[in-house]
Amino acid sequence: IDPQQYQIIQNEKLRQKRSLELIASENFTSLSVLQCLSSCLHNKYSEGLPGQRYYGGNEFIDEMELLCQKRLLEGFNLSSDIWGCNVQPLSGSPANIMAYTGVVG
């Protein structure tokens, strides 16, 4: 990253630390989430569902997505025999709607 871009990012980090953000989609992201988002998984295009991708080479993306689905169901104490879930939101709002309607019905 070049020095100007680095400084802009540092300025934004400082702004976030000094303020209280009340917009849900701009909530402060934890270090563990940032580390996952900056992993090599971010480089992979994975259109479709696990085991049914348009492009090849998605075995680890599939594994991660299935793990996320499993943990989501476990988090709400739901059986995978009865319930399913999709962990592929486009943004914060659809993510919230998916979670709420998935639980509320």
Tokens of 96: 């919230």
Q: Across the chain, what does the average pLDDT equal?
A: 84
In tens, the pLDDT along 69-79 reads 999 999 999 99
* Dist CA 95 CA 89 (whole Å): 5
Number of structural domains the chain divides into = 1
Q: What is the pTM of this model?
A: 0.61
In tens, the pLDDT along 21-55 reads 787 777 777 788 778 777 787 777 788 899 999 88
**Which CATH number do you get for residue 37?**
3.40.640.10
Percentage of the chain with pLDDT > 70? 94
Higher-pLDDT residue of 68 and 102 is 68
* Dist CA 17 CA 32 (whole Å): 17
Range of the domain at 62: 3-104
